[in-house]
Amino acid sequence: MPKKPDSFKEDFFRFLENPGRDTLREVLRTHGGEFSQLDFKAEWPEPPKLAKHILALGNSEGGCLIVGVSENPDGTFDTCGLAKVTDHDVIDKSLRTILH
């Protein structure tokens, strides 16, 4: 049975203390899919869409966008990884121009 979204922040903080595939899968499995504070994207969104996701998460008291994961119609998820890795400096620069 999925946990309540209220416990997500604490569980995700524990993942950040001990990051790894298994600990991330456990957080995702126990919270049962996407909700207002957790959003999955199979690929990096283009900067304007990424900015919208960041603003939406900020407006919902914070949250997490996990890239490389997709949610299935039945609420399960697939850890698909990324076909292409984008340098974080490129992402940072493009977001700074949009969010400032």
Task: Kindly list the domain boundaries of the chain, sorted by start residue.
Answer: 5-99
pLDDT tens sequence for the chain (100 residues): 455 556 777 888 888 898 888 888 888 778 777 777 788 888 888 888 888 888 888 887 777 888 888 888 887 778 888 888 778 888 888 888 877 7
Provide the whole-model pTM.
Answer: 0.72
β-pairing, 77-79 with 69-71? antiparallel
